Structure 1
C-alpha cells in the first residue's frame, strides 16, 4: 500500500508544471511583438495550443487537491475543520486577487481605477473553492454518491449550456459583480464556465480517494484518462454535430462550432495521465516545492510583470514589443526569477510575517493578516531586487 505523500507527488508536479506554463504564457503573450503572432507558424501554433491547456489544468488540479484534503477528514459537514479553513482560503484568494490590482498612486489620489474591479484567476479559484464547499455541505449527510454526482452534473451543465449563458447581458448587475460573469468589461476569467473544471477536479479526487488502496489504481486511472481524454479531444465535436443533425437542436451545433471546453477537458485528462505515468520520477524536492508554492509564485509574477501596487511592470515597458528570441530568453529568465524569489519567500515566510507584524500588535482579523502578508512579499521583493542590482548591501 502506498503512502499519502507518494500518491500526491504527481499532483504537486502538475501544479508546478502548470504554474511554470502560466509564467511563460503570460510573459510571451504580453510582450511578444504582434508582427510575430503568425497562426501559420507551426511553432507559434503549438505554443498557443499548450498555453490554452494551462488554465483548465490549474482549475482542475485546484479542485482536486482541495477536495482530496477535504474528504480525508472523518468529520462531515460543518464539523469538518477543512470547511472553515476552505472558506477562509476562498475569501483570501478573492481578496488577494483584488489587492494585486490596487494602484497605490491612484489610491493616494483618492481614485480607484476601473481595472481594480476586473476578475482574474485568483477570484475564480477562490469562488470555486467556496462553491465546492457549498456542494459538500449540502450533500455531506446524504448518500455518498450524491456529492460526486452533483459535481459531475455541474461540470456537464456548465460546459453544455455555455453557448447560452455567454450571450447573456449582465448590465442589470453592478459592474463589479457582472465582471464575474462576463468579459465584456475586461475580465480575464469568469466563474462560468471555469467553475466546471474545478468541480471536475473535485469529482476526480473523490474517485481517486475511493480506490486509493487498489493495487491497480494508477494503471487503470492512466488507461481511463488517456482513452476518455482522446475521445473528448478527437471525437467530442463530431459527437455533438451528430446529435445536432439527429435532433435539430441548435445548442449542439453551437457547441460543435466552438467546442473548446470539452476538448480542453480531454487535454486535462491526458496531462493527468502523463504525470501519473511519470509519478516515480517526479520526486525532485525543488519541483514539488514549486507545486506547493503556486500562490507565492502567482503574486510575485503579477508584481513583476503587471506592476501591482506601483503600476511599474515589464508589461508596461515592453508590451507587444519584443522579438521571438528576446521574448523566449526573457520568459526563461522570468520563470527562474519568479521561482527563485517564491522559494526564498516560502523559506522565510515566518520571518517576513514577523517583520510585517512588528510594531502593529496581534492581528486578529484574517483580512488584516492577508494585507500584511502581501505587503511583506512586496518588501521582500524590493530588498532582493535592490541587492541584485547592487543598490544596497543591507
Structure 2
C-alpha cells in the first residue's frame, strides 16, 4: 500500500510525518512518499526522509491519485478530495463541525476520512490523541511567549539593590494546555495560581506547586471525556467576579478554554481587562474559536488603552514546528499501526472498534456520524 504526506500550505509549519514516523511506517510494509519540501519548516529536508526509507515526489496530483493512505495536518481543499482514489484513507484535522462540506465531498468521492479532533479521550487512544499532544506544546509556549513580552522577570531575584518579587501568573482552565502552562511558569520561577470549574483538578494544580483558586459555583463537574461541563449564566457571572480579583493582581493571564465544535466561552470581560495592571499580558489560547477574552483578535496581538497586551495568535503549537511535527507524526503513525494487519499488509476497518467509532467520519460513501448527515 502507498502512503503519501503532502506539503502543507502556508502558513502551516507542521508536517504529517518526520523521519522517525517514516521508519515506523516503512517497517509495517508501507511504501511512503513525501512531497518535496514538506518537512522544511520543521527542519527535515528531503534527504532526511530518503534516509528514513521514503520516496520524494514533486508531482502532487499523481502522488494523491496513487495513494491508498494520505496523512495531513490540516484539512484539504474540497477540489483536491476528488483527486483521491476511491477506497483511500485520509487522516488529518478536519474541523467537522465547521466543515461539513468536506465530509460530503469525502463521502461522494468514496474516501474513508478520519478526523483527528474526534479521537476518543481514552487510555487506549492516548498515543493517538493529537489534540492533547498539540495542547501540551501550546500551553508551554503560551508562557514562554508571555515571558518574552512581559517587561519584567518571572523569578524572584535577590540583588544588592534589593529583592525583586516573582511575577504572578494566573492560568484559567486546567486541561492539558493549562497544566503545561502551570508547570512551565513554575519552572521559570513565577508565583502561579490556577482556576477550573472542575474541583477534581485541584490536586493536580497543587502537585505542580501552584495555588488553586476556589470560587463557589455550586454544582459543577466534567463530561465523560474529561472536559468541563457548561456553566449556567449565573455560574458564569460568579466565576467572572471571583477571577476578576486574581486577574487584577496578575502579570500574566493564560486562558485555555477551547471547546471543540462550539464557540469559546468568554471568561475575561472588557471590565476585567480594564482592571488589570499596565504592562500585563493576556494569552488567549482559544482565539481561533472566538476567544476567552473580550478584545481578542484572532491571529493578532493588540494593546488596550490601559496598556494590557492581548495575544490571540492562532495555533501556538505551530510556533514550535520541530516538536509539534514530531508528536503529531507519532500520533498518526500510532493510529496506522494500531489498525494495521501485518500479514495482509493493509489497514483494517474494524467498525465496531471504539476508536474508529469516534473518529471515522466517512466510510463506503456514507457519513457515519449522524450529527453530520443532514
TM-score bin (small chain): under 0.3
TM-score, length of structure 2 as denominator length: 0.22
TM-score, length of structure 1 as denominator length: 0.21
Higher relative contact order (CA 8 A, sep 6+): 1
- Structure having the higher helix fraction is 1
